[in-house]
């Protein structure tokens, strides 16, 4: 019996049409649901946004920078259930009740990973949360996550608006043994993130800023 993940799948109007294995979902471009959670840390009157680097073995967009934590909803799961990804991927205990719903996002992306074409049609509920947990306290699931980084929200906005060509992000990556984390510094440009419309990233960063300072204009 295969241990491959199974997802609920939908038609264009998001009406349920059954379930399918992950490989079939990405091969045939079935609509499916996912959970996005962005974490941010208030710092010195600003906001540091946390983001991960996807593991090189991922079946879509390996080695790209991405959402702090994300995951597909397995067949029968709710978004509350999918919040387990926070603990599984980065080792932090943040209950679903502490998350703030930001918006819903629909995307279609195509590409080739490890020589296999894929079509990724997702509808995602995007959440945010503030956490002052130091990067050293993260425990990364190395099969999924190759590193965790943070950068100033204003700088990230300038980056995705094209006003800043690149920025430097500090982070942590697994040591050779995989259990401990060591410091890392990375050059970050928009093309190193999972390809989405810039408006997605800009909306996230601005909403996280409002979450940390509701009166901010």
* Residue 197 CA: distances (Å) to CA of 37, 86, 176: 17, 24, 35
| Choice among 7-16, 43-52, 178-187 with the minimum mean pLDDT | 178-187
**Percent over 90 (pLDDT), the chain:** 85
pLDDT at 215: 57
Residue 216 clears pLDDT 70, i.e. is over it: no
Q: Beta-carbon neighbour count of residue 57 at 10 Å?
A: 13
Average pLDDT over residues 122-139: 96
Give the mean pLDDT of 149-159.
98
Q: What local confidence, expressed as pLDDT, does residue 54 receive?
A: 96
Rounded to an integer, the average pLDDT of 47-60 is 92
Where do the domains of the chain lie, and which CATH numbers do they carry?
Answer: 6-212 (3.90.79.10)
Q: What average pLDDT does the chain have?
A: 93
For range 61-90, the mean pLDDT = 95
Give the pLDDT confidence score for residue 217 in this predicted structure.
47
Higher-scoring residue by pLDDT: 217, 151: 151
User: Between 44 and 178, where is the model more confident?
Assistant: 44
For the segment 134-149, the average pLDDT, to the nearest whole number, is 95
Q: What is the mean pLDDT of residues 195-199?
A: 95
In this prediction, residues 21-43 reach a mean pLDDT of 96
Inter-residue contact 68 to 57 (CB < 8 Å): no
The per-residue b/e assignment along 19-42, b for 16 or more CB within 10 angstroms, e otherwise, is: bbebeebbeebbbbbbbbbbbbbe
Angle in degrees, 0-180, between the axes of helices 153-160 and 198-212, rounded to the nearest 10: 160
Three-class HEC string of 144-206 = CEEEEEEEEHHHHHHHHCCCCCCEEEEEEEECCCCCCEEEEEEEECHHHECCCCHHHHHHHHH
Is residue 120 over pLDDT 80?
yes
Please name which of 97, 62, 95, 78 lies closest in space to residue 195, comparing C-alpha atoms: 62
42 vs 212: CA distance, rounded Å: 7
* 166-188 mean pLDDT: 92
């Amino acid at each position: 019996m295969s241990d491959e993940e199974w997802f609920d799948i939908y038609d264009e109007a998001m009406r349920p049409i059954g379930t399918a294995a992950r490989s079939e979902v990405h091969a045939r471009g079935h609509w499916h649901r996912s959970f996005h959670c962005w974490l941010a840390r208030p710092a010195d009157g600003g906001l540091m946004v946390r983001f991960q680097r996807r593991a090189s073995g991922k079946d879509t967009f390996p080695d790209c920078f991405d959402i702090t934590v994300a995951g597909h909803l397995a067949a029968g799961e709710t978004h509350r259930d999918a919040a387990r990804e926070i603990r599984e991927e980065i080792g932090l205990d943040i209950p679903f009740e502490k998350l703030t719903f930001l918006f819903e996002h629909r995307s279609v992306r195509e590409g080739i990973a490890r020589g296999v074409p894929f079509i990724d049609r997702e509808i995602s509920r995007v959440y945010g949360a503030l956490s002052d947990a130091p990067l050293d306290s993260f425990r990364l699931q190395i099969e999924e996550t190759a590193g965790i980084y943070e950068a100033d929200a204003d700088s990230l906005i300038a980056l995705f608006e094209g006003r800043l060509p690149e920025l430097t992000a500090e982070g942590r990556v697994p040591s050779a043994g995989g259990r401990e984390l060591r410091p890392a510094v990375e050059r970050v440009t928009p093309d190193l993130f999972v390809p989405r419309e810039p408006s997605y990233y800009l909306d996230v960063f601005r909403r996280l800023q409002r979450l940390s300072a509701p009166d901010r204009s």
